[in-house]
Structure 1
Amino acid sequence: MGRYTLRRLLQLIPVILGTTFLIHFLVWNLPGDPFAGRCGERPCNPAYIERMTELYNLNDPLIIQYGKYLLNLLQGNFGEDFRGVPVAETMAEVWPNTVKLAVVALSIEIIIGIGAGVLTGLKRGGFLDNLVMISTLFLMSLPVFVIGYLLQLTLGLQLGIIRPTVSPEMPWSELIVPGFVLASLQVAFTARLTRASIAENMRADYVRTAVAKGLPRRRVVGVHLLRNSLIPAVTFLGTEVGALMAGAIVTEGIFNINGVGQTIYRGIITHDATAVVPMVTVLVLVYLLATLLVDLLYAVLDPRIRYE
């Protein structure tokens, strides 16, 4: 396991270098004025463009630009945005909010998605199975912003059960509905994926052998069937960790949450590359670490998997 982990960590190095290089290149080297967001609707003054170009090393060759950018990242220097605010301060303010929202959304995916998938996989064709299939199809058919506005309107404005927008303190109780909105599509996919995996493994030889040995049903399901059947769902959930944070733009906007998604969106609208590049880079790192954790969980879930 240790050698495999080390090898996977080494494999992440070229991936990190490649993705950060592409992010830096696409944001800073596309045609047009990269500092247009500082000047509003008026064209930027040539002297100002020249000074900013020198400040951000845009006169250097591309590989030199990237080298300086990477060196600053390794030193923990994320620079300042166009407002003169250190990006590290902005990240320290918005990242905890998005992480809390993502934790709630991931918990909902695990509890509802996997729970519904296991129950329907064990009892296919019944009322609960049909109800879950219809419900998940409904969630998959509706865009996230429609679900968000419907819940905000009915539960918040009409019934008064929740706050229409999340308060600045962001208590966990106020994040349940936004978390469900963020996780709604993934809940549907997780439930269907788990159901299909449970139904397939129910016919596997090792399950029939466990039943023939006279093992209790709880042990057959919990030890033999469930662990092996959860691998597809765990893979899906692991890859969704980064997507939950990056894809929270709509949910954060509906419920007025000051998070990473809204910060990146504002940076894109205002052409503030100094804020967008570090934020997206950290998202890439989170996504890569999540996929590594999923790979390591395979051996825990499935005893047939051994890392050499």
Structure 2
Amino acid sequence: MPQYILRRLLQLIPVFFGTTFLIYALVWAVPGDPFAGKCGQVACPPAYIEMMTAKFNLDDSIFVQYFKYLGNLFTGDWGETFNGVSVGELIGNAYPVTVRLALIAVAIEAIIGLSAGILTGLRGKGFLDNLVLMSTTFLISIPVFVTAIVLQIVLGSELGIIDASVSEDATIGELIVPGIALGSLSMAYIARLTRTSIAENRHADYVRTAVAKGQPRSRVVGVHLLRNSVIPVLTFIGTDIGALMGGAIVTEGVFNINGIGGLIFRGIQNREGATVTGVVVLLVMVYLLVSLIVDLLYAVLDPRIRYD
């Protein structure tokens, strides 16, 4: 196992450099004047443009810019916006809210999706199976922003159960409904994926052997069937964590949540390359870390998998 962890960490190094360089190059290679509109209604003076070009190393080649950016990043400097605001400070203020929102969405989609998938996979065809298939198809067919708007109107404006907009503090209770909206699509996929995996593996040889040995049904399902069937679901959830953090732009916009999604949107809108690059680089780190954790959990769930 230690050798496998070391090998996986070494594999992540070229992936990190490749993805971050691609992100940096794409963000700063967008055509147009990056300083347009930064001085109000008038064009920025040449002295200002010269100063900002030197500050952001825009007169260097893209490779020199990238390695200078990495050098600052490894020392904890995430850069500054054109207005002189620290990108690290912006991320530090917005990231905890998005993390809470993403974790709530993952918990909701995992609990409800797994439960629905296990019940329908074990019982087979029937009323519950048809109900889950219809409801998941319905959720898959509806865009996430539509689900968010419907929940906001029905639970907020019509019934008054929740506030239409989340407060600046964004407590756990306020993020439950936005988390449901954000995780609704993945919840439907998890339910279907779990159902298919359970239905396929419950007739496998190792399950029939466990039943023939007289083991209790709870042990057959919980120890043998579920642990093996949940592996593809775990892979989906692991990759979905990073996707939820980066894809929460619309959900955060609907519920007025000051998170990473809004930060990315404002950064793109204002052509703040340092902000967009810093946020996306952070998301890349999350993806790489989660993928490593998921790979290590495979051996825990399935004893047939060994990392020698």
Q: How many residues align structurally?
A: 308
C-alpha contact (below 8 Å) 1:117/1:194 kept by paired residues:
yes
Q: Which amino acid aligns with 1:81?
A: T
Q: Which residue of 2 aligns with 1:237?
A: 237
- Corresponding residue number in structure 2 for 1:125: 125
Find the aligned partners of 2:37 and 2:8 in 1 and give their Cα distance: 40
Q: Distance in 1 between matches of 2:44 and 2:261?
A: 28
Q: CA deviation at 1:42?
A: 5.0
Match of 1:160 in 2: 160
Cα offsets for 1:81-133 (capped at 9, x unmatched): 12221111111100100000011001001100111111110011111111111
CA deviations 1:154-199 (Å, max 9, x no partner) are 1111101111111122121111110010001100000000100000
Deviations 1:13-58 (A, max 9, x none): 0011011111111111232212225245654444332221111111
C-alpha distance in 2 between matches for 1:27 and 1:36: 16
Residue type of the partner of 2:62?
L
Kindly provide the amino acid, as one letter, of the partner of residue 212 in structure 1: A
Name the aligned partner's letter for residue 38 of structure 2. R
Looking at structure 2, the residues matched to 162 and 9 of structure 1 have their Cα atoms a distance apart, in angstroms, of: 44
Deviates more, 1:163-172 or 1:230-239: 163-172
Show the counterpart of 1:197. Answer: 197
Q: Residues 41, 135 of structure 1: CA spacing in aligned structure 2 closer, same or farther, 3 A cutoff? A: farther
Q: Say whether residues 1:3 and 2:3 are aligned partners.
A: yes
SS of corresponding position for 2:194: helix
Match of 2:222 in 1: 222
TM-score computed with the length of structure 2 as normaliser:
0.97
Structure 1 length normalisation: TM-score?
Answer: 0.97
Where does residue 213 of structure 1 map in the other structure? 213
Change (3 A) 1:26 1:41: farther
Question: Which amino acid is 2:180 matched to?
Answer: F
Report the Cα distance in structure 2 between the residues aligned to 1:77 and 1:275, rounded to whole angstroms: 12
Aligned to 1:69: 69
Q: Is the 8 A contact 2:81 2:274 kept in 1?
A: yes
SS at 1:36 equivalent: coil
Q: Which residue of 1 aligns with 2:25?
A: 25
Q: CA RMSD in A?
A: 1.2
CA contact (8 A) 1:37 1:271 kept: no
Matches for 1:1-308 after TM superposition, within 5 Å: 1-39=1-39, 42-308=42-308
Q: Percent identity over the alignment?
A: 63
Q: Residue type of the partner of 2:236?
A: F
* Counterpart-to-counterpart distance in 2, 1:41 and 1:133: 55
Partners of 2:94 and 2:181 lie apart in 1 by: 19
The question of whether the paired residues in 2 share the 8 Å contact of 1:182 and 1:244 is answered with yes
Contact 1:37 1:272 (C-alpha < 8 Å) held by counterparts: no
Distance 1:96 1:62 in 2: 32
After superposition, the Cα gap between the structure-2 partners of 1:171 and 1:211, relative to the gap in structure 1 and judged at 3 Å, is same
Structure 1 position 141, deviation (Å):
0.4
Change (3 A) 1:179 1:219: same
The aligned amino acid for 2:280 is V
How many Å apart are 1:228 and its aligned residue? 0.1
| Structure 2 residue ranges without an equivalent (≥5) | none
Measure the CA separation in 1 of the matches of 2:42 and 2:187.
Answer: 46
Given that 1:148 and 1:251 are in contact with CA atoms closer than 8 Å, whether structure 2 keeps it comes out as yes
Check whether the contact 2:37–2:43 (CA below 8 A) recurs between aligned residues. Answer: no
CA contact (8 A) 1:4 1:307 kept: yes
Matches of 1:12 and 1:143, distance apart in 2: 33
Q: 1:250 Cα shift?
A: 0.5
